[in-house]
Amino acid sequence: MFPIGVAALLRAAGSPYDARMNSSPTSSSLHALFNAQHQASRQQIDVPLAVRRDRLLRIKALLDDHGPALAQAVQADFGVRSPQLTEIADLFVLRTLLSHTLKALPKWMKPQKVSTPLYLQPSHAYLQRQPLGVVGVVSPWNYPVQLSLGPVITALAAGNRVMLKPSELTPKTSALLAELIGKAFAADELCVVQGDGELAAEFSGLPFDHLFFTGSTAVGRIVAKAAAANLTPTTLELGGKSPCVIDASCDLNTAAIKIAHGKLLNAGQTCIAPDYVLLPKGKEAAFGDAFANAVAKLFPTIAGNPDYAAIISPRHHERLQAMLAQAEREGARVQVMGEGADAASGEPRQMAPALVFGAQADSRLLAEEIFGPILPVLPYDSLKDAIDYINARPRPLALYWFGTDTASRDQVLAQTVSGGVTVNDTLMHIAHENLPFGGVGESGWGSYHGEAGFLRLSQQKPVLVQSKWAKGDLFYPPYGKRFDQVMGLLRRWL
């Protein structure tokens, strides 16, 4: 359980992820759901492959049968977000995850043999991969289907029971997920709970065997503190300020279209979206022109364009506008591309993309994760200056490098630490199922996707099987000359 005041912090934390909701289940019903899953997980510790596959195939059928309805629910929650965007960014990602997991699951489940040191032979050893038990998943609103069901798929593949708390900022999507999952699964297998900040606080304080949270760094700290009270291990997929480093060897037009796509997908409401650009001093105007051309190609219009997502809520829209206004007041030059919708008049909150040149170092744009279509541009004198700038700040969730000079690329990769990297593109490392995805430091801890996620949500139990020919008694007391001889021999072998 959270200490007094933590639920209010969850509601009020100034982050791109937090929100409010209208209703919540009772405390007793929440605990009853958890207790049912906990009891079921202890009664069936060994979860066979057939059971795991069946659960995954039920998720697959849910997506196949109701994908369009889910996309429409997301559209309704955002105001403007094309079903095609949900298809590629939510549903397609989940389908690839399911396909990869179903194919690899038999191999992942097998006990893993490990080599045995000479002094323990002729025994043998292996790692037995077992379910943890009950996994809690708290998911955000920005990709409300993918970031809800992605961790759920991984947890089910690992043989766990799952409780999902989806975001309150996408109530239609959350309600539809709850309905569909309720029809496809018994509550002690997989269930959805919906509620406000009070519910989120109580949910995070349940004694899960693992708690998976996707959201802001500020709320991640609160969730980690709540989980720590129960010694519940956590995976925290947080945010941060992900840099784009443009090398002197880079073709700006090629980089600009890829940066614009990564930045403006979902109107910048993406945890690994480029958050700022570092480029050689003197190339600011050229990059501004290249970026404007890229935006015009991707989104010929902004207001009324069904391919350009709205900002999720009036509060988040106001936050972004306030950040931009502060930068302008402090002397920054703002380059706006296209005409956004007038949110004040009740139109959808489609905020025009903007580059910001000359933002003050202590401005909100450079201190907070932006989570919107605003991109500060920071010139550097030398590559070392760019690296020093990155390293002086919390470690980012993602880093992007653009150029053709492999020595410069390798210098940046060797001298910075980030959750993940894509070279000469943005976002794409998250789509590679054999690459673990996760943060480092303030951008999170723990990785998932592919086998990394399976192992994160499994217990790798070490097992040593002793041989009847074992000579362990050589190490038993009483110690004497024979013991000294054995130890001397072992020291020579080591």
DSSP state of 476: P
pLDDT of the residue at 493:
81
Both structure tokens of 70: 């889910």
Which H helix or E strand runs over 139? Answer: none
d(CA 185, CA 173): 18
Are 372 and 356 a contacting pair, CB within 8 Å?
no
Cis bond upstream, residue 117 (ω within 30): no
Of 374, 357, 339, 386, residue with least CA distance to 285: 357
Give domain limits for the chain. Answer: 6-239+447-458, 242-438
Helices (H), 233-382: 252-264, 284-298, 314-329, 364-367
Are 317 and 351 a contacting pair, CB within 8 Å?
yes
Are 158 and 9 a contacting pair, CB within 8 Å?
no
Both structure tokens of 467: 């041989």
pLDDT of the residue at 6:
36
271 is catalytic: yes
Start-to-end CA span in the chain (Å) = 49
Q: What's the pLDDT tens digit per position in 413-470?
A: 999 999 999 999 999 999 999 999 999 999 999 999 999 999 999 999 999 999 989 8
d(CA 202, CA 96): 33
Collapsing DSSP states into helix, strand and coil, what is residue 138? Answer: strand
d(CA 139, CA 152): 10
Place of tokens 């021999």: 489
Of 356, 308, 314, residue with least CA distance to 336: 356
DSSP state of 268: G
DSSP state of 205: T
d(CA 192, CA 24): 11
Cβ-based neighbours of 262, under 8 Å, separated by 6 or more = 270, 272, 273, 274, 400, 425, 426, 427
Label residues 277-296 b or e (16+ Cβ within 10 Å = b).
bbbbeebbeebbebbbbbbe
Q: Do the domains 6-239+447-458 and 242-438 sit in the same CATH topology, yes or no?
A: no
β-pairing, 234-237 vs 437-438, is unpaired
Place of tokens 């059971």: 51
244 is catalytic: no
242-438 maps to which CATH number?
3.40.309.10
CA angle 177, 181, 186 (to 5 degrees): 155
Residues (pLDDT < 70) of the chain are 1-24, 342-346
Q: What's the pLDDT tens digit per position in 351-398?
A: 999 999 999 999 999 999 999 999 999 999 999 999 999 999 999 999
d(CA 139, CA 63): 18
Task: Indicate the residue type of 446.
Answer: G
Looking at the structure, give the CATH architecture of the domain made up of residues 6-239+447-458: 3-Layer(aba) Sandwich (3.40)
Catalytic residue among 168, 189, 202, 237: 237
Q: What's the pLDDT tens digit per position in 292-309?
A: 999 999 999 999 999 999
d(CA 6, CA 222): 7
Catalytic residue among 271, 284, 369, 442: 271
Task: Indicate the residue type of 269.
Answer: Q
